Amino acid sequence: MKERPIIFNSEMVRAVLEGRKTQTRRVIVPSMRTADTQFELHQQADGSWMPMHTFNEGSFDKSGSERPIKCPFGAVGYRLWVRENFFEHGHWEGGGYDPEDSYFVSDKQVLYPADGVKRPTQRTREDFWRSRPSIHMPRWASRITLEITGVRVERLNSINEHDAIAEGLSEISKDGSTYKYGIPDRDGLPGTDDCGWPWHEWSRYPITAYSKLWQSIYGEESWQANPWVWVIEFKRVEGQ
């Protein structure tokens, strides 16, 4: 079984754990290490799109065929192990806390900020919790494994309402008739206690809510840029 890592922030980790998130979109970048960073989209017979490297010396294989850009997360059936921010327990050996003078020995106990856990404040060299960014999470520390069920290519702004909700939005109504979409706090309600949105920032339109979510991660101009993205559909592998 082929596995690859994928990074999610805390609010998206919660959405996966709560079953709200079954899709993720990632901007397409060329997969070949050449000076050319551009690519073209070729429409296939079934109507889908295939990203291809632009015409340069490295764009062709030995048979003269153009090289497609491969999805960095794999294909249907691949598994993804989620990297998230975490706290790691262990002790320091050597002369101090500086990595140049000592080194950290992990005992493989971990805590996850996405669960609302704070870094323990009582710390000694023999009993130490260090804060670790998601990019440094090793495989053994990951608690979430996903299986890819679909991969396709589309423009970011082409997302429909169903898929916008599948990106991790919650649907809530205060009066039973008008529903709004957004990211809830850990209690499932609008608010700002952790990563949630206040009620006035929720939208009646899923796509509008998703555009806010996207911009919160990638910047204010990122939605308007309307990049080509990988659309990765997945299901959680239980017991992982």
For the chain, the average pLDDT equals 86
pLDDT confidence of residue 16:
98
For residues 97 and 139, the model is more confident at: 139
pLDDT band at 186 (very low <50, low <70, confident <90, very high): confident
pLDDT, tens digit, for every residue of 26-72? 998 765 455 455 666 666 666 656 666 555 544 445 554 556 677 88
Tell me: pLDDT of 11 over 60.
Answer: yes
Alpha carbon distance 173, 101 (integer Å): 56
Evaluate whether 16 touches 224 at the Cβ level (below 8 Å): no
Alpha carbon distance 23, 189 (integer Å): 22
Count: domains in the chain = 1
Does 126 reside within a domain? yes
Does 113 reside within a domain? yes
Does 125 reside within a domain? yes
Residue numbers of the domain that contains 112: 86-132
Does 105 reside within a domain? yes
pLDDT, tens digit, for every residue of 83-118? 999 999 999 888 766 666 688 899 999 999 999 999
Does 90 reside within a domain? yes
Alpha carbon distance 226, 158 (integer Å): 9
pLDDT confidence of residue 57:
47
